[in-house]
Amino acid sequence: MGTKTYYAGQDVDAPCGRCGCETRHQVLTITNGVPEQLICANCRSVHKFRAPRPVPEPRTPQLPASAKTPAAPRSGGSASLYQQLVAQEQGGARALPYAISIRWEEGAWMDHPSFGLGRVQRRLGRKVDVLFKDGLKTLVSA
């Protein structure tokens, strides 16, 4: 795969700090074949060239290894409530990625970017209590 060549006046898609997203830009100056300055077609701000952010691959929810097969009780203790819920109740249900815009109902499974896999325990108006491996968290819901 060859390197991309640029020229002054070329239209490129690049992230814009002022707009806060990737927008159409025009190349103003070039140094050693790489754009140096761009002008945003949307807000007309002039800034340095920043390569576009790579598009992340969609995450598939991964169950903890202990949830894939029911674990034998440990001597001197029992499996945590989280592990019991995952092993007993998920039963093939899909975990949706967490979003504030979703109205989360009791019993739903979610995949949170920070907390991981969790199950909604109860709904409190526009908030929900969700049980994660690290404990109970209160999150915003639609």
Q: Note if the pTM is more than 0.85.
A: no
Helices (H), the chain: 65-68, 81-89
Contact by Cβ (8 Å): 132, 116 = yes
Q: Report pLDDT digits (tens) over 10-28.
A: 888 888 888 888 888 898 8
pLDDT at 123: 92
In the chain, where the domains are located = 11-48, 65-71+80-140
pLDDT at 92: 60
CA distance 22 to 53: 9
